[in-house]
Structure 1
Amino acid sequence: MNQRLLAKIKESLASVAPITALVLLLHFTVAPLGTGTLALFAVGAVMLVLGMGLFTLGADVAMMPMGERVGATLTKSRSLPLLICVGFVMGTVITLAEPDLQVLARQVPAVPDRVLIWTVAVGVGLFLVAALLRIVFQKRLSYVLLALYAVVFGLAIFSNGDFLAVAFDSGGVTTGPITVPFIMALGIGVAAVRGGASAEDDSFGLVALCSVGPILAVLALGMFYDSSSGSYAPTPLPAVENLGEALKLFGQELPHYAREVGVALLPIVGFFILFQVIKLRLPKTQMIKMCVGIVYTYVGLVLFLTGVNVGFMPAGSELGGLIASLDARWLLIPIGMVIGFFIVTAEPAVHVLNKQVEEITGGTITRRAMLLTLSIGVAVSIGLAMMRVLTGIGIWYCIVPGYLIALGLTFFVPRIFTAVAFDSGGVASGPMTATFLLPFAMGACEALGGNVLTDAFGIVAMVAMTPLIAIQILGVIYVCKAKRNPAPEHREEEPEIIELQTGGTTNDTD
């Protein structure tokens, strides 16, 4: 275990080092940060390295196996009502405890925090059920996504413009590092037991559908709440002058994030313990191993979230303001794109997704190809977001063409690329986006005198959108290569298909 932990920390160091080096380069050239901000950033970077290493090991040892076993057990029970009830309760309860959702709720002044949080949580619960049923009935993901996004854009036409960016942002923040490993593994477990020719393709797609629920929920809220009833109030940045004060601030904030992560992990662990007592009955040695993995996950997330919130958020906000104040303010676009390219490698859930994709596809889609494609996609999204900050162009003009392209590509690529692409959108827009890129855009917007709610918000939505296109373009490249170098034909035995008690067949003649 110690060797695996050391390897994970080395991987996380390689992931965090590029963005750290880039911020330092900007500090020594065009955007000199304050001494206190730089100290916070340095300590935060160290916490990111340790936190990501512990988290990714914990996800491998505990979170992914837990999700797969719960999903497999639900499917083997052959009880559709049980699957629906458990899926809804799990999706709702886990989302209620998602730390990034609490942050988003505080930024929407027109809607009471509790109302927004509960509405979004119920939306995720309903769509987790829909995602599980899609696997059970083997419905093609692209058709489901087309129908859902038609509803999304239909609602967007009648929704208040101030809620549009926040709505699409909410789809990204609710699929954070706490929920993604478990939800992904849940789908893999259900698809593996359900069987069928499309089991590999159906292993992905849960995160994609769970990201739609919050968008619909906030758009619906926008019809009933007046956005002019409140005003945006920026979060005050900490007043830190030196390294000693920075360390003291981290010490003060650490217990807060320890509580948040504990509350967020508790429902997942509780559900698993319940399944262990009633159904699983795993051997003692395996349970001890999973308990160690849960501890790794907990400690890793506490360190990671404390590092990004306390250390990276002030740096992002100050950098955005400084660059926007330059005479050559257009530098926001290329600098933002470079930051976006490197920052996605520091998203912990991205590494979990890439590992699962490589394993499920047998190496057809490698981790390296996934990471490079995601980095390019996020770079483009930050470039578009910075263009919006500079020009005030409405998010509608970016989101609609982007999703039309993404949905159109679903008919030209293998199904697994569509599922992975729409999952990757939710995964890429994680805590690094919410705590560094969003403050970066907000700092730039405030320096330029723009409207933060309409011009800066929406950056999470942009980060969640471009991977949908980038990964499917990777699928187009894969198809072209396959046509040039066709693989030898071979036949495989069809796995047994598990049918749940639904009163009818579960096969889809798609």
Structure 2
Amino acid sequence: MNEALQHFIAITVGTVLDVLPIAGILIGFQFLVLRRPIKNPKEVLFGFLLVLVGLVLFLEGLDLALFPLGELMANQLTSPTLLDLPTDGSLVQWHHYFWVYLFAASIGFSTTIAEPSLIAVAIKANQVSAGAISQWGLRIAVAIGVAVGIALGCYRIISGTPLHWYIMVGYVVVIVQTFYAPRSIIALAYDSGGVTTSTVTVPLVAALGLGLSSNIPGRNPVMDGFGLIAFASLFPIMSVMAYAQLSEWRTARKNR
């Protein structure tokens, strides 16, 4: 109990120290540069308190639930009894980890659909485009990209292949897509890679990568455990541009 309380206090103090510079910059800019009083200071102060409380509870929840859960799932999914690994002494191959890929894709899709930052961007994109960009269409396209990216990232960890191969090839594909995608979607597609790696997705994906690399023979958590976030940022760019290209093709086909 004492350790839990000390941990909670440490997170609270750390969060306050992290938020204070942000508040200082905003307030200092308001008074020293704009030279205007803050409207509704009580509401602003209350809002900052809510931010502090929310961040503290969120960070505490990460340590208590999301990180341990991600590592636990990685441990269970790499269990020899679940994977039905060969017992004749033959080498374990990448295809023996089917459940790992399925879980990675599922967790990537579901966390992205629930990502608050993506929801906010999808709403704004729908409003600015006067309904041309569907909220659910964008969210599903991004979620599919994250699902494919994280599953492929898990394959990289299991196979031990170098990360930079995937990243270089991926960005070559993105560059080629950029020349053919509708101009109205390109900037949004690039932004989609950033909004996916936020509060909901990152903790579970990071824990999955670290847990997986800790349980695969010959893998180093420091060298192999990280990198899934890069996949989760890269592949949504491809999927959103592909979604726009497919929509444009279907529209052109209907108008023939």
TM-score, normalised via structure 1 length: 0.43
Number of the residue aligned with 2:155: 387
The answer to whether the Cα contact below 8 Å between 1:321 and 1:443 also exists between their aligned partners in 2 is yes
Number of the residue aligned with 1:470: 239
1:480 matches 2:235: no
The answer to whether the Cα contact below 8 Å between 2:122 and 2:135 also exists between their aligned partners in 1 is yes
Between the aligned partners of 1:416 and 1:264, the Cα distance in structure 2 is 37
Query: What secondary structure is seen at the aligned counterpart in 1 of 2:132?
Result: coil
1:418 matches 2:186: yes
Between the aligned partners of 1:357 and 1:255, the Cα distance in structure 2 is 40
Q: Deviation of residue 273 (structure 1)?
A: 1.6
Q: Deviation of residue 280 (structure 1)?
A: 6.4
Residues 462, 303 of structure 1: CA spacing in aligned structure 2 closer, same or farther, 3 A cutoff? same
Q: Deviation of residue 388 (structure 1)?
A: 1.3
Q: Deviation of residue 379 (structure 1)?
A: 0.8
Between the aligned partners of 1:420 and 1:255, the Cα distance in structure 2 is 40
Q: Which amino acid aligns with 1:376?
A: I
1:323 matches 2:96: no
1:284 matches 2:53: no
Q: Deviation of residue 283 (structure 1)?
A: 6.3
Between the aligned partners of 1:357 and 1:250, the Cα distance in structure 2 is 42
The answer to whether the Cα contact below 8 Å between 1:321 and 1:440 also exists between their aligned partners in 2 is no
Q: Deviation of residue 395 (structure 1)?
A: 1.2
The answer to whether the Cα contact below 8 Å between 1:421 and 1:472 also exists between their aligned partners in 2 is yes
**Aligned-pair Cα RMSD in Å:** 2.6
Residues 481, 274 of structure 1: CA spacing in aligned structure 2 closer, same or farther, 3 A cutoff? farther
The answer to whether the Cα contact below 8 Å between 1:324 and 1:447 also exists between their aligned partners in 2 is yes
The answer to whether the Cα contact below 8 Å between 2:30 and 2:38 also exists between their aligned partners in 1 is no
Any unmatched runs of 5+ in structure 2? 84-96
CA deviations 1:325-360 (Å, max 9, x no partner) are 234233211121111111223434333333333333
Residues 353, 288 of structure 1: CA spacing in aligned structure 2 closer, same or farther, 3 A cutoff? farther
Number of the residue aligned with 1:101: none
Q: Deviation of residue 256 (structure 1)?
A: 2.7
Q: Which amino acid aligns with 2:76?
A: L
Residues 326, 479 of structure 1: CA spacing in aligned structure 2 closer, same or farther, 3 A cutoff? same
Residues 367, 270 of structure 1: CA spacing in aligned structure 2 closer, same or farther, 3 A cutoff? farther
1:397 matches 2:129: no
Q: Deviation of residue 436 (structure 1)?
A: 1.9
Number of the residue aligned with 1:442: 210
Q: Which amino acid aligns with 1:333?
A: Y
Residues 297, 396 of structure 1: CA spacing in aligned structure 2 closer, same or farther, 3 A cutoff? same
Residues 251, 358 of structure 1: CA spacing in aligned structure 2 closer, same or farther, 3 A cutoff? farther
Residues 260, 367 of structure 1: CA spacing in aligned structure 2 closer, same or farther, 3 A cutoff? farther
1:301 matches 2:55: yes
Residues 402, 280 of structure 1: CA spacing in aligned structure 2 closer, same or farther, 3 A cutoff? farther
Q: Which amino acid aligns with 2:10?
A: H
The answer to whether the Cα contact below 8 Å between 1:317 and 1:440 also exists between their aligned partners in 2 is yes
Number of the residue aligned with 2:230: 461
Q: How does 1:6-25 map to 2 (within 5 A)?
A: none
Q: Deviation of residue 462 (structure 1)?
A: 0.8
Instruction: Kindly tell me the number of residue pairs found equivalent between the two proteins.
Output: 239
Number of the residue aligned with 1:94: none
Residues 296, 402 of structure 1: CA spacing in aligned structure 2 closer, same or farther, 3 A cutoff? same
Number of the residue aligned with 1:257: 11
Q: Deviation of residue 312 (structure 1)?
A: 0.9
Number of the residue aligned with 1:344: 112
Between the aligned partners of 1:304 and 1:281, the Cα distance in structure 2 is 33
1:357 to 125, 137, 147: 125
Q: Deviation of residue 453 (structure 1)?
A: 3.0
The answer to whether the Cα contact below 8 Å between 2:113 and 2:140 also exists between their aligned partners in 1 is no
CA deviations 1:256-302 (Å, max 9, x no partner) are 332333333333322222232232636633x4444433333332222
Q: Which amino acid aligns with 2:178?
A: T
Residues 288, 308 of structure 1: CA spacing in aligned structure 2 closer, same or farther, 3 A cutoff? same
Residues 295, 405 of structure 1: CA spacing in aligned structure 2 closer, same or farther, 3 A cutoff? same
Q: Deviation of residue 387 (structure 1)?
A: 0.9
The answer to whether the Cα contact below 8 Å between 1:377 and 1:470 also exists between their aligned partners in 2 is yes
Q: Deviation of residue 252 (structure 1)?
A: 3.6
Q: Which amino acid aligns with 1:279?
A: L
Q: Percent identity?
A: 26
Residues 264, 444 of structure 1: CA spacing in aligned structure 2 closer, same or farther, 3 A cutoff? same
